[in-house]
Amino acid sequence: MPETIIAFDLYGTLLSTESIATELANLYGNEKAKTLAARARTLQLEYTWRSNSMNRYQSFSNVTRWSFRQATAELGLDLGPAEEERVMKAYNGLDTFPDADAGLGILATKKEAESVSAYVFSNGDPSMLASSMSTCPALANASSVLPAAKVISVEPLRVFKPHPSVYDYLVGVAGKKDSPGDVWLVSSNPFDVCGAVAAGLRSAWVDRAGRGWLDGLANGTGNNPTMVFQADAAPKHRHVRLHHHRHVRLTTTATSVTWRALEIYQHQQQSTEHQHQARTRIMCGIHAAISQNVPSPISGTLEANLRCRGPDHLGSLTISLLDNDGHLCVALTSTVLALRGNHTTAQPLLDQDSGSALCWNGEAWRIHGQPVTGNDGEFVLSKLVAASSHSQEAILNTLRAIEGPFAFVFVDKRNKILYYGRDRLGRRSLLVKLESPFQLSSISDASTTGWLEVEADGCYSISLTSNSFLSTVEPSRHDWDNNAELISALGIFNATVPKGLDRLTENAEAVGTLKNHLLQSLQYRVQGIPVPPGVNEPQVSVAVLFSGGLDCTVLARLTHELLPKDDQIDLLNVAFENPRIAAQHKDLDPEKLFELCPDRMTGRQSFAELIKSCPERTWRFVAVNVPYNDTTFHRNTVVSLIYPHNTEMDLSIAFALYFAARGQGLAQTSIDAEPVPYSTEARVLLSGLGADELFGGYSRHGIAFERKGYEGLIEELRLDVGRLGKRNLGRDDRAMSHWGREVRFPFLDERLVKWAIELPVWQKCDFGNDADGEKGVEAAKRILRLLARDLGLQAVSMAKKRAIQFGARTAKMESGRTKGTTLIGA
């Protein structure tokens, strides 16, 4: 595993510049000491920036002296030579923050830190740094972690942070010129972390003031820190807290700013190939750009977003094609999240003989009805290359035969054709930009416009000849199936209207068949998931996006039947601080406010029922509490991820999925257990999406039946299932995959969908019988409710449908009058 570099800023990050106030108090009294220390620090930073601007470098030691001279003069205090030397001696012996002590100790002792190399990276000149490193007890004791060779001063460059050259210098000294993303800068100085991000590094900002990230320039230019942590500013307060959990306090003996940054990095942002996994699977970020004469480079923002989706590997290649009209370049980029096969396969995939290449994002569970074992991307490429020697129709038939969620770009170099598309249900994201240069990408660079969702209505192709790209490209579309009667290109909807019917019961054949289909679907999606890179003995491979509702709880219960008994299952339940609701409960503790969210209440009820029905399984309920300032902090990121979707409803739904997929919260493995901070190891998330469309779970289905009987209900269901491929699954994929996890939809397995389409309507939602139904089970999604009852989930079988944005309270945060169709920012 390649080495991760964590470079610590010194002054204000590891060392408290305010700790000099003790010596200043001896000289000027307590009342003036803190004011003087703060003013001198402000001037010190100002002087470094002015020096950079004027190209007039002076040593940091001189800058520090001059800042105290001006600060004392402003306050009317005397600073003679003797007093100045006492101040400088004190500055060279500043105290560390307690979380720095703990963090450096962890880096020195934790086995997981063996792949991490720590550095000090400072504006301080070498003599100042040497003095601080030797006189501060905590830093002196950390010499095994921070030897002199790893204490870096910017002085050789004769510029200060945040000049771009200093970060390039750090990357070079650390031996990471080719992989600056492996370098993290940890700093409490906003200008420092922004400079690092602008130079291609990652950064963690330590918020010691507790005000949150407010930097307007960074927000405007997109140079925000990779992550933000809150920590108490005063050395005497031995507490630190992660910004994502505003109301959680963690003692530094258990965790620290340093170690939390490392843990989250290892969990979410591992950008390396791991060659020893038992089984892997490729879920990727993919990008393609077609240009004339020279390759079109991918933007830094796009590459960073793709890395989030596929943190295990980033690769690229360029395919050149010549014709009588010129030279065409197809530049391909892929990032990989490894989840199947016996090794991590670098992408893009290249067939050496034909020169054809494939960018593959998704799963091919079956091809031509046969299960795919090993690495499915390699298998798909081999089938496409073989088909390319026959005809275009052979290639299209190979693509049509794939069962599973996917998006792809295939360059058939032999025939000079590029193919791209999404599976017929649109479960993976793919965007297209038709103007020059023509681009395809899993995610957009939201700073540019013109991106469109690739429709899931077929496969698309483009002739790779130079004259095809002289103006806006017009791709050719090829239907997934030539039978126009097929719904979602899978089956013919059963439109039979019943004439007198029996009540659907638990013993009905359809209930047992649904269970079998779900178990088969889940087998592909939850079994054989490999050990995540960087995790020795994972306890959790699967997490469920868990509102406590019918669909997700049935999935959790059936997953229990497929996983080994010692595997734990995480239940991710998200709740938001909604200012409008908070205003109605001003006297309520913020933690209690989260517990009032509808999805939190049903989630805890269903958690209890799962424990009761399956006591031998360890279920972990993860309460993902999202303070309002977290929502606003991540807003720009989420808006960028869901683009080109841009309505308030898109945003409110995406917020819930984005934070749930992050998987960080307070965890309990029993009802009465004390909640503990937790971040899930699971890289696979299960979603119950699709059940409402297939089995009549929306209120509009009941309304359609009331108005027009079974004919109206059938038409509404037919429209819903037919729109599955046009739904917002691409948007949801982009929001959740940002955290290096893959969401899977067991209800949207092709075989299950086909069976449900062809099932008579009264065996899905029994609106023809009274609402009391079988033992009180309501009509909407009755087949699924009866399955829940058969599985021992009595209370869950009665659960009401609730939209995620209302259950988690992400809707209408600022104004109750906001409409879902309102454009973001309008």
Beta bridge partners of 288: 332, 440
3-state secondary structure of 344: coil
> If you count them, how many residues does the chain have?
826
Asked if the bond preceding 235 is cis, omega within 30° of 0, the reply is no
**Pairing verdict, β 684-686 and 742-744:** parallel
Q: Give, in order, the Cα–Cα distances in Å from 13 to each of 103, 130, 185, 407.
A: 12, 17, 11, 44
Distance CA 25, CA 466 (A): 75
Give the count of beta carbons closer than 10 Å to the beta carbon of residue 682: 24
- Angle subtended at Cα 671 by Cα 665 and Cα 672, rounded to the nearest 5 degrees: 95
Alpha helices in 481-597 (DSSP H): 509-526, 550-560, 579-584, 590-595
Alpha helices in 92-239 (DSSP H): 98-109, 126-135, 137-141, 164-173, 190-198, 216-221
C-beta of residue 807 within 8 angstroms of C-beta of residue 800: no
C-beta of residue 688 within 8 angstroms of C-beta of residue 603: no
Q: Please report which helix (H) or strand (E) contains residue 782, including its range.
A: helix 782-790
Beta bridge partners of 571: 544, 621
- Cα-Cα end-to-end distance for the chain: 47
- Written as six digits, the tokens of 16 are 């408290």
Q: How remote is the C-alpha of 586 from its chain's centroid?
A: 32
Active-site residue numbers?
284
> Phi/psi of residue 476, each to 5°?
-95, 140
Going by C-alpha positions, the residue among 562, 577, 737, 547 that lies closest to residue 642 is 737
Q: How remote is the C-alpha of 333 from its chain's centroid?
A: 19
- Written as six digits, the tokens of 314 are 């980033």
